[in-house]
Structure 1
Amino acid sequence: MPAILGDRFRRLREAGDITQRTAGRAIHADASKISRLESGRTHWHEDDAAVLLDLYGVPAAARQRYLTWAQRVNGPSWPDYDDTDADSGLDALLGDVPLQLVRGYEHGVIPALLQTREYADAALRMSREELCEDDVAAVLELRMRSQEMLFDRHPPTVWLVVEKTALLRPVVDTTLWHRQIDHLLMLAELPHVTVQLLDDAACGPARTGESFTYLRFRNFRLHELVRTQQLSGAICRDLPADTEPYLRTADRLAMLAAAPRAGIERIGELRRAVPEPGAQPGPGAG
């Protein structure tokens, strides 16, 4: 995680045509410390971040988010919401870091990247009943914003495994469920998106103890990142010893799931099997 923030500071420094040596002097260090900060080999401290933000001419409107990131990137835990601006959260930090690959699996619900706004809102309220309206709106907006990468000019490869049970779970009413399935099927047709259907017999929840998202960045200097969602927020892991087991689990789930085209056909069948409200029975029905 420190390297992701370091990469942001590197871009700020280079945009101002400032050398590592000059930046080092500003924090009473040498160029090697700036190099270590930018590569994530040294933990960030708020005091160093504040001095560099002044040197790089970062406007006051953006300053607080960088200081909040500097407080958080050294640890694995990120709250879904708090008293600071939503733009200083994990989704905002990762928001403009180009991704190469996204893989994931979620227990019990359709993966967040494939959710409609209505489904995401209902799922969030169901799992986080303690949230006030403002917190729900803030978290929902961040989750919707994260989906924009699916339509980027150079989008990442996205490969998600969806539980059959999750598709049938009544998170929303029938009308909104049909919209959600249609949305999922539309996204699955994108050339860079692969969706696989996992039958109940594959026992997905028993094979992995938690929902997870695996991220690989286009910048080869950044380690792969695994994000797991907890009730209190997200936990991030970026050491190879921690991320590789999740990649192996993603491979195992993909092998157990239906082939992409076959799975999409079965999802379409599930949709057609649930009548839309007000739909008239076909000829010979009943």
Structure 2
Amino acid sequence: MKDNQQLWRWTSLAPLLLFFGALALLPVANILYMSFHTVQWAEGVSTWTPVGLENYERLPKDAFFSIGVWNTIVFSVTSVAIQMVLGFLLALAVVRIKWGSTFYKTIFILPILIPGIVIGAIWKLMLDFDFGVLNQINIWLGLQPLDWTGSVKLAMPAIIIVDVWHWTPFVFLLMLAGLQGLPEDVFEAAKVDGTGPFRELFKITLPLMLPTILVTLMFRIILAFKVFDEIFLLTGGGPGTATEVIAFSIFRTFFFENRVGLGSAMSFAVIFAVALLVVISLAAQRYAQSKG
């Protein structure tokens, strides 16, 4: 009977799984196939020329791709590290508040509810050199106004600030859910033993939260690795290549330079890197759960 129920579940779910599997795998297969060709259009007709591994061999030599990879790593590591710390601290503060926690939750999650195009417009105005609110504050404090999105030194930090403001609520929600799911008896026993707040945090809370932290970190690294909208709306990859991330490099190669084969090779390299990150994260999560 149990085997029949299991068979029925798999049989009933199979069409849906095949459909979503096709939606996910067919575009990837098409990109992979395209990456071994050069594609040219003439009079509405595309001509595909096989080039083997030539597009992949050109990746390390492509200036925009190399810069995009490096900027993406810098952006992802810095932004996600700040978000993880802030999100965890905010969740830790809210979970210990007895009154008004709903109000704080609502305030903290507001940025993640705003559409990306609106976020870009808001921050573009806030970072404007002439009338942006940040420079108005600088002038009020007696400081010089800063060219936040037009300076090579400040453009990437400005993008990181926007991303931290936008995505810290996501980390906050996952951390809050993890903290609320921790067993209370462990903390009650720690209080009976006279455990201090810092020892409780590092010896009890953080070890118990490790699986949640790893899952949150995996999601945020993947999403940060794919960042595009904030770059496109605020700096367009500039000034120069200061904010040229890998997603913008792919966009440029596909739609501005019309090198579809090379852009496909870039895309598949990113897909492979993200898949590798997922595998490593899942392995780390299993290891953490086994130790827990």
Identify the TM-score tier after normalising by the shorter chain: under 0.3
- Give TM-score scaled by structure 1 length: 0.23
- Give TM-score scaled by structure 2 length: 0.22
Q: Which has the higher helix share?
A: 2
Q: Which has the higher strand share?
A: 1
Higher RCO structure (Cα 8 Å, ≥6 apart): 2
